[in-house]
Structure 1
Amino acid sequence: MFPFSVFTTALLAIIAIGSLSTLSNHPHWLIRAWDFPHVQLGVITLVAASIYFIAARFYETNASLNWIIGTLAVLILGWLAYGITPYTPLISPQTKIADSLNDDHRLCVVVSNVEMENTQHELWMKTITEADPDVAIVLEIDHRWMAAIEPFRKRYEHQISYPQDNWYGMLLLSKFPIIESEIRFRVSDDVPSIDALVELPSGENVRVLAVHPRPPEPIRDNDSAARDAELIMYGRDLEEENDPAIICGDLNDVAWSSTSRLFLRLSGMLDPRRGRGFFNSFNAKHWWMRFPLDHVFHSPHFTLRRIERLGWVGSDHFPMLLDLQCEPARKTEQEPLESRETDEEEAAELTSRV
């Protein structure tokens, strides 16, 4: 029993230190990576502690060590639950359901990171055609993908494209008129975002932001500085936005991270998954390691008709569908996250890193 006692204590100590290290907001990928697997770490903690205490019934154990392991497990599970509980049915949904459906005020959006190397073009077109979104945001699109999905693109009269061969190409397709648009490079000159104004059939204009910031990752030794700064810059932009707006894309960040929550507090945007579920969109190829990385946040002008994770399209990301209805009269019924006194200081720190 002794070796397993040491192993369990060491494992829980590593999980505790790693999970709490994210409080530092340090941009290094080794720290920011602990933001992602809250569910997985919770399962590992629960299984390890359970096995230990079941074995402890049959083998002599140290009472002090039992106390340490039990305390560590409870603290870890409590901390992890604090982050993910808002994305379970235990919490009231943040975005309200639309009262009555009115297609003139409808905006159905699909966000899809196609994975540039993916060759399942026909499967992708079939899946997105069946979803029939009003606006499609297509990420990691290169010139090969642009040519392969030309039959699908012809379905959309209005388009903004910036294909690239560096995994940051972007395409916005819209059935509705695009009144104005701009391709922006907020942090890096090879990572674009699209800022467009789309007119609904009702005549209402909606600001649509499509983003795909660079992730923190060990392979290219990227930290989270660029990702964090881009999100905060758009959070500040949207803070001044009084008209309907959505921001969507592969944010390379989970909804419960400190950066995402700061963005939501600054921008006043709502997350329709809060109170409804994780809707894990990545990694589509590994069921045991999935996180909600593809997001559609919206201003309180909108209510929800439907939210859905679409089927596999050959990519490492599942497409995400969000069907919204513009109902400005219900703005006061929907509460953004409450701001904190430290928000501006945190925002200034994150944007100063790039």
Structure 2
Amino acid sequence: MLSFFNCVIYLLFGILVAGSLLPLSSHPHWFIRGWDFPRMQILVITWLAAAALITTNAIAGQPSTVRWTVIATLTLALTVWHLFRIIPYTPLAATQTKSWRPEQAADPDHDARRLRVLVTNVEEENDQFARWQQVVLEQDADIIIVAEVDQRWAEAIAELKSDYPNQIVHPQSNWYGMALLSRLPILESEIRFRVQDDVPSIDTMVQLPSGDEVRIVGVHPRPPEPIRDNDATARDAELVLWGKELAEDDRPIIIGGDLNDVAWSQSTRLFLRLSRLLDPRRGRGFFNSFHADRMWMRFPLDHVFHSTHFAFRDLRRLPHVGSDHFPILIDLQLEPTMHHEHDQLEEKEGDEAEAAERLMRAKQADPLHVETVIPAR
């Protein structure tokens, strides 16, 4: 019985090691890219498995120096490997977006340049409309980016018209409908289909009370997942396209939504390097937004990235709204005087080649697709 138990633990360690190495490949298959998500879960399973093997064999009176040395070495290696990726998203690391300091403000009217953005995947099947509305209204956000909007959710969103008079709503019944609600004036807006004809993004320009204009982009790319046998090709290409486009725009920018990707993945980090945008999570915490009903399977999938025009005021995960995602609220201050204080990720030598490869995969998968844009209503 003990030998069988030991074999199971060895097999488990083999799977954990293999799975930990698979994300080194940029192959888009969901099984490979999916291993980028559960780094914390892998760490917990590794520690529990090592403790179980050592304790069980010690109690059985069959200690083995060789066995314990191998397991301890693998445990240490896996711990270092995964901590290397996730520590930047903990308070143990330096913050990427620096906190705003009122004494350095260029404008004494602080609130006129403050911007609060709420990102929420409502889950299309969710019918707790009133619960979502209550949580949203309590936050007093300036902009709300909503994912998975179908016709029912479009009607629930319309009920917020008095609080958010400027609304861009594009309902769909395929889990990729989008909406953007604003109590600020929307100067320009488009609904864009960057890679796939059924996956929209919302691209807008809004005006702050100070008169400053800010580009706000809402996104929700299709994830790699086994149920529908989707790979990461479309998601990777969409992030590359947005990264390259936003890098050429020197205006204040915020892009947010359910990226269906974890903060520490190679795709998200490539996007940050290409776009030169900042991740306010770095140095502050995971702020896991999915899965709201399963504590053991939580990942940071809902993101807000921004240009160096902004400084950090606050970032919070909001209460449950009936969805499988928690909403995320970020509070930013438009403060270009702090531009050089933030720590942008430096572009790597192979980034352009990697970006080109991801775009080529998307073209080969759907060679006839050309980005479409429709006027927002």
CA deviation digits over 1:143-167, x for unaligned, max 9?
A: 1111133221331121211111111
Give 1:227 deviation, angstroms.
Answer: 0.5
State the match for 2:24 in structure 1: 23
1:191-202 residue pairs with structure 2 within 5 A?
191-202=199-210
Contact 1:136–1:173 (Cα < 8 Å) also in 2: yes
Corresponding residue to 1:335 among 321, 338, 343 = 343
Give 1:61 deviation, angstroms.
Answer: 4.0
**Aligned CA distance change for structure 1 residues 10 and 49 (closer, same or farther; 3 Å):** same
Report the AA paired with residue 35 of structure 2: W
Does residue 6 in structure 1 map to residue 46 in structure 2?
no
Corresponding residue to 1:305 among 310, 313, 324 = 313
State the match for 2:140 in structure 1: 132
Contact 1:8–1:69 (Cα < 8 Å) also in 2: no
CA deviation digits over 1:227-285, x for unaligned, max 9?
A: 11101110111111211101100000000000000101111111111111100000001
1:265-276 residue pairs with structure 2 within 5 A?
265-276=273-284
Q: How many residues align?
A: 354
Give 1:75 deviation, angstroms.
Answer: 1.1
State the match for 1:32 in structure 2: 33
Give 1:67 deviation, angstroms.
Answer: 2.4
Q: How far apart in 1 are the matches of 2:241 and 2:156?
A: 34
Q: How far apart in 1 are the matches of 2:310 and 2:119?
A: 17
Does residue 66 in structure 1 map to residue 68 in structure 2?
yes
Q: Over aligned residue pairs, what C-alpha RMSD do you find?
A: 1.2
Corresponding residue to 2:79 among 77, 80, 88 = 77
Report the secondary structure of 1:171's partner residue.
strand
State the match for 2:265 in structure 1: 257
Report the secondary structure of 2:71's partner residue.
helix
Corresponding residue to 1:174 among 178, 182, 192 = 182
Report the AA paired with residue 155 of structure 2: A
Q: How far apart in 1 are the matches of 2:116 and 2:156?
A: 24
Q: How far apart in 2 are the matches of 1:93 and 1:314?
A: 32
Structure 2 unaligned spans of 5+ = 103-108, 363-377
Q: How far apart in 2 are the matches of 1:309 and 1:194?
A: 23
State the match for 1:95 in structure 2: 97
Q: How far apart in 2 are the matches of 1:158 and 1:342?
A: 42
State the match for 1:116 in structure 2: 124
> How does the TM-score come out when normalised to structure 2?
0.92
Q: How far apart in 2 are the matches of 1:11 and 1:123?
A: 42
Q: How far apart in 1 are the matches of 2:6 and 2:100?
A: 53
Corresponding residue to 2:237 among 229, 242, 247 = 229
CA deviation digits over 1:30-68, x for unaligned, max 9?
A: 111101111111000011111222233333244333222
Q: How far apart in 1 are the matches of 2:165 and 2:137?
A: 15
CA deviation digits over 1:18-41, x for unaligned, max 9?
A: 111110011111111101111111
Report the AA paired with residue 167 of structure 1: W
The percentage of counterpart residues that share the same residue type is: 55
Report the AA paired with residue 130 of structure 2: E
Q: How far apart in 1 are the matches of 2:141 and 2:26?
A: 36
Q: How far apart in 2 are the matches of 1:74 and 1:190?
A: 44
Contact 1:296–1:322 (Cα < 8 Å) also in 2: yes
Q: How far apart in 2 are the matches of 1:10 and 1:333?
A: 48
Q: How far apart in 1 are the matches of 2:62 and 2:318?
A: 51
Give 1:337 deviation, angstroms.
Answer: 0.8
> How does the TM-score come out when normalised to structure 1?
0.98
State the match for 2:356 in structure 1: 348
**Aligned CA distance change for structure 1 residues 207 and 149 (closer, same or farther; 3 Å):** closer
